[in-house]
Amino acid sequence: MRMRPTLTWEPTGEHFPRTTSLEPMVDLVADGGVVVLSGAGISTESGIPDYRGASGALRKHTPMTYDDFAGSAEARQRYWARSHLGWRTMSDAHPNDGHRAVAALRASGHVAGVITQNVDGLHQRAGTAPEVVDLHGSLDRVICLTCGDLSARTELERRLTEANPSFTAVADRVNPDGDVDLADSAVRAFQPVACTACGTGVLKPDVVFFGENVPKPRVERCRALVDEARALLVLGSSLTVMSGLRFVRRAAEAGKPVVIVNQGPTRGDRYAAARIEAPLGVALGELVARVGEG
């Protein structure tokens, strides 16, 4: 599955119903067998902006594409300088009430599985178990494009800090992909490092860049989760990128109910039984309280 470099999506003008009532979500989850598909909107309350909301990152920032990263040493230098700075914020971010609510629903058996489009690892830090499927990978791992070696991001950060003792840049905000805006002068002074396993390989975060393929085994795991689910609950995603939207289509085509909770219209509204306009932390906290009472 290729993650198409679709950075923006504009509503077609068609009207799809929306509500502020949580009843459709409560009814959906109360019966169990629900798979959650989460997007950047669930992490905004942890201080990580989304891409496409009112203050979304795409208004100021264009995410790195795979072709740019793989084809240009200059692009890689720019990426690692900015991502090194952004990692400090990403690694310090804490799960919010929305992440904790999903973990509670997974533990109670109401949620059968979690697929996240996010790369921040906050579902895992909230205690969601068993495994969350990171559709687009995770920033806490690094892969060598030459030899395929996987390593921990913490080790890379240690090496980058040692290689750049004079790097003192500061960022005002971090983007959902862990990138930040940084002056060209700071970028030019930054020294990336090579893979320690093979000695010369190009290191890349183990995340799916725009224009890159989502690994097939991961796609198959997501399809299996959706196929085995009774229903699909989408949390905080505009579903602009096809890699997430196709699971909504798959569920709807199989006759499974889909409920979307998002602040703003989504590309999947036509497939939803309901689209709820609500802040996720408060909405999911109430959901946990209500299904726990049922």
Model confidence pLDDT, tens digit, residues 237-246: 999 999 999 9
pLDDT single digits (tens) 226-239 = 999 999 999 999 99
Q: Range with the lowest mean pLDDT among 97-111, 140-154, 183-197?
A: 183-197
Place of tokens 């795979």: 66
pLDDT single digits (tens) 80-137 = 999 998 898 889 999 999 999 999 999 999 999 999 999 999 999 999 988 899 999 9
Contacts of 166 (CB under 8 A, 6+ apart): 189
Mean pLDDT value across the chain: 90
Q: Are residues 38 and 248 in contact, defined by beta-carbon separation less than 8 angstroms?
A: no
Q: What are the catalytic residues?
A: 136
Residue 133's beta-bridge partner residues? 115
Query: For residue 55, what pLDDT band results from cuts at 50, 70 and 90?
Result: very low
Extract the tokens encoding 99.
């992440």
pLDDT single digits (tens) 149-164 = 999 999 999 999 999 9
Of 45, 61, 280, 39, residue with least CA distance to 174 = 61
pLDDT reading at 58 higher than 50:
no
Of 230, 270, 261, 223, residue with least CA distance to 244 = 223
Extract the tokens encoding 228.
């085995």
